Structure 1
């Protein structure tokens, strides 16, 4: 007899033909040509005795993105831009920073070498001022050139962890075995180079916080009920964590669940995995998991399980602003159960961390809550 998890996996496999696949990265030749076109525009302006201007798509405006249920938040093809002028005091430094990083990327791609964003920062700390500046400009260039960041040969230091029924090979030939042990595996900085993925996992479980992830790891959750894969981005996920979940979804065709705190922050983290973020909307096709399901902790679980009042925390003013913002997101029209859960949180004005389940019993999360959710379909 099929469990709800088995039925879900069957539906996912049957519908995989309609699933948008990750777009291939740009070739080195295409990236070099795109950079050369930018430089040609600058040279042309100078030859006309005009101050060069770079028009960078604005990654900070919601009116620059559109929502597609099968992909998530995508940057509009006619999005507004930010003009970075070479003759303006407020933007001349950024103009120089962009040109410097463009030159670094050009040499990396041309020589088929890779560098981290940290490496780029240390090449000219005085010019960049901070690591955050480099991080932002690399993403701006990726958007400007319409090239995935991995095609720019720029890698980011990863913070995510992975464990469970999974083996794969990294680009340099290193074989990685993620089977549960006392320590998880740090995600690769080059997710696109991963190949030969082998797994008999029944599902992928995204865990919001490292503390909960470690608890599940210590209690050998990956093999107790079903073989599975667990991954955490340690809060708001970095690009590598999102790329890895998407890669597993594309290759293995298994359900993906999110286990997050029952608070506006946790819900937004789940939404980033499922539908993407505003700042990275230009790469939605390779980062989002449109079929992701909200496993818990649900606001309705708090009431249903009668979680002790001492484990609940009142919503702050900031929480209420975030919740109101989430309730206005366009994806809620296709997720009425999500809307009910958020409306319940808005009504009760309380939130709870996953760890609040420990007030019922120390092992309640791994021995009761998750097994019942997965066996009987307690997700939304």
Structure 2
């Protein structure tokens, strides 16, 4: 997988982009050992000092959208710009120590040939170093610091993705040594996506679907699975139950690589959060800029769109909240939005209101399947 992802970089116009390697445990341990030895060497020098940690800068100002020369697909990348963690400055002293603590824990996990989730890592660190780790967010950010320092993926560090996602429809999956799973026979809740990226990479997949439909909400996913949308429109349904987790994004990316001719459509609420979710599937996230391209897919925005608002009864519109406006501001300030997405976002902000997919139930519970079928026809993919 690493060679495939790395070789794909030659098709991008910007060759100054930085990415994290997928490495076997011995190489990751070696990088950690080199970091420790360099640190000790400086401390034992005739003029000892505590050096700063140079990390790839993960701020939006260091991100850019890299566009493939062969397709219309795009990904978020980070360039070779650095920030530092210093033990000598009060505001960065604790984050400095956290990096070493997380590296130590990852090293132990790799030596034991184990894997653990971010949540498990948090509780290990909470017990081991409670003065440095008081929240899951601190652990999540420190993991990204370690990725930015060592230039290797979080999965290479022995950290599994926690998965909320599910998949249903015309897809057969087979884990190594296991029976084949028919995702159309998994009920309305679908097949639970594993957080083990190594397992997802080894899945054997077969499909006769014509489309992949990414659904923002689990409730909508369940409705479409219960109505067997995939039999009326030959398709694969996938959801992350909100903001996309890494495992769901990885599996979607894997399916798109395995079946490159299947168009991918996104069904999200008409609000800034829905657009942000769509963009995360489509481009990746700035926070994971070193790995974003491994989880990005060329998702087309199926709906809800501003042209669909006539289908939404007036009483179903909801006023935008401050959080919506904050997300809209963040999206506008980024470089990822294409022009028609910017137009949609501008209409949202100007109208001051949002519409949710459930509002279409005004036309009956069977209307959503008809709506999706019509939108796909309009997209000229049939």
1:208·1:266 contact (CA, 8 Å) conserved in 2?
A: yes
Deviation of the 1:262 alpha carbon:
0.5
TM-score by length of 2: 0.84
1:28·1:109 contact (CA, 8 Å) conserved in 2?
A: yes
| CA-atom RMSD in angstroms | 2.6
- Structure 1 residues 217 and 129, CA, compared in 2 at 3 Å: closer, same or farther? same
1:74·1:284 contact (CA, 8 Å) conserved in 2?
A: yes
Deviation of the 1:221 alpha carbon:
1.3
Q: Which residue of 1 aligns with 2:377?
A: 375
Q: Aligned ranges for residues 135-284 of structure 1 at < 5 Å?
A: 135-170=140-175, 173=178, 175-180=180-185, 181-194=187-200, 195-226=203-234, 228-253=235-260, 254-284=262-292
Distance 2:50 2:331 in 1: 42
2:20·2:153 contact (CA, 8 Å) conserved in 1?
A: no
2:286·2:292 contact (CA, 8 Å) conserved in 1?
A: no
Structure 2 residue corresponding to 1:298, chosen from 294, 300, 305: 305
Structure 2 residue corresponding to 1:27, chosen from 24, 27, 51: 24
Deviation of the 1:269 alpha carbon:
0.8
Distance 2:91 2:194 in 1: 37
Distance 2:167 2:20 in 1: 24
What is the aligned length? 352
Q: Which residue of 2 aligns with 1:97?
A: 98
Distance 1:151 1:140 in 2: 14
Answering whether residue 344 of structure 2 is matched by residue 346 of structure 1, we say: no
Q: Which runs of 5+ in 1 are unaligned?
A: 1-15
Q: Which runs of 5+ in 2 are unaligned?
A: 1-7, 13-18, 69-73
1:311·1:359 contact (CA, 8 Å) conserved in 2?
A: no
Tell me: higher relative CO, structure 1 or 2? Use CA pairs within 8 A at least 6 residues apart: 1
TM-score by length of 1: 0.84
Q: Aligned ranges for residues 314-333 of structure 1 at < 5 Å?
A: 314-332=319-337
Distance 2:60 2:148 in 1: 16
Q: Which residue of 2 aligns with 1:80?
A: 82
Deviation of the 1:75 alpha carbon:
0.8
Structure 1 residue corresponding to 2:361, chosen from 353, 358, 362: 358
- Structure 1 residues 264 and 182, CA, compared in 2 at 3 Å: closer, same or farther? closer
Deviates more, 1:137-146 or 1:173-182: 173-182
- Structure 1 residues 96 and 323, CA, compared in 2 at 3 Å: closer, same or farther? closer
- Structure 1 residues 172 and 107, CA, compared in 2 at 3 Å: closer, same or farther? farther
Distance 1:24 1:54 in 2: 19
Q: What's the secondary structure of 2:270's corresponding residue?
A: coil
Q: Which residue of 2 aligns with 1:66?
A: 64
Q: Deviations over 1:286-312 (max 9, x none)?
A: 0111x2100001022103x3x210011
2:271·2:355 contact (CA, 8 Å) conserved in 1?
A: yes
